[in-house]
Chains A and B, each alone.
Chain A
Amino acid sequence: AQRVTQPEKLLSVFKGAPVELKCNYSYSGSPELFWYVQYSRQRLQLLLRHISRESIKGFTADLNKGETSFHLKKPFAQEEDSAMYYCALTGGGNKLTFGTGTQLKVEL
């Protein structure tokens, strides 16, 4: 069975501090991993996917197959980063399995 675990429900950091949102997964094959974000009063949207290997809004995520992790990182948190972040995976076919989400709060 495939599973995504986000151990932190809430992560609070100060503006300018580094951010790391943790994500671990369980999947027997080679999944695709994603981070989705939901800003206040907005709909769920894709932030980044591991195969793109790109930085979006300063965020990066590296897939570590040995540790089955896909942590989301940003070196300097901004106030506008405050949002709900979901890690998700698919084994193919556009069927996403989501984690329970981490609420990121960036304090001034």
Chain B
Amino acid sequence: ETGVTQSPTHLIKTRGQQVTLRCSSQSGHNTVSWYQQALGQGPQFIFQYYREEENGRGNFPPRFSGLQFPNYSSELNVNALELDDSALYLCASSLLGISSYNEQFFGPGTRLTVL
């Protein structure tokens, strides 16, 4: 059983560009959540995908979008990058079921720098 993986580890973009971050869920998990962690802050919920459908969204603009694939891997896309988008982006997978909360397992993150 493998844990949550993310790629790339880090990348540098310039303002106005677009970026795609990738996440591979832990085996057997059907839900993926994305978080943004700015320097010195806690992770902030962006959105969640369950069985390829968006299942909740935080206070982020539409230029943040995502996909979940049949194998439960996921992408986070950010268009028209702004300097404030510089952050660590975390992916977390879980098995959503009848319980109110199921433990989320986090990936190592992708460090995005926008110049």
With both chains docked as a complex, state the minimum distance between the C-beta of B56 and any C-beta of chain A, in angstroms.
Answer: 5
A-B contact pairs, 18 of them (CB 8 A): A32-B101, A43-B4, A43-B107, A46-B104, A86-B42, A88-B42, A92-B100, A95-B33, A95-B56, A95-B58, A96-B33, A96-B45, A98-B42, A98-B43, A98-B44, A100-B41, A101-B41, A101-B42
With both chains docked as a complex, state the minimum distance between the C-beta of B31 and any C-beta of chain A, in angstroms.
Answer: 6
Does B102 sit at the interface, judged by CB under 8 A? yes
Does B72 sit at the interface, judged by CB under 8 A? no
Interface of chain B: mostly helix, strand, loop or mixed: loop
Q: Is there contact, CB below 8 Å, between A46 and B103?
A: yes
Interface of chain A: mostly helix, strand, loop or mixed: loop
Residue of A nearest to B55 (CB): A93
Residue of A nearest to B105 (CB): A45
Chain B interface: which size bin? 20 to 34
Does B96 sit at the interface, judged by CB under 8 A? yes
Q: Is there contact, CB below 8 Å, between A96 and B43?
A: yes
CB-defined contacts of B73 to chain A, threshold 8 Å = none
Q: Is there contact, CB below 8 Å, between B100 and A95?
A: no
Q: Is there contact, CB below 8 Å, between A93 and B42?
A: no
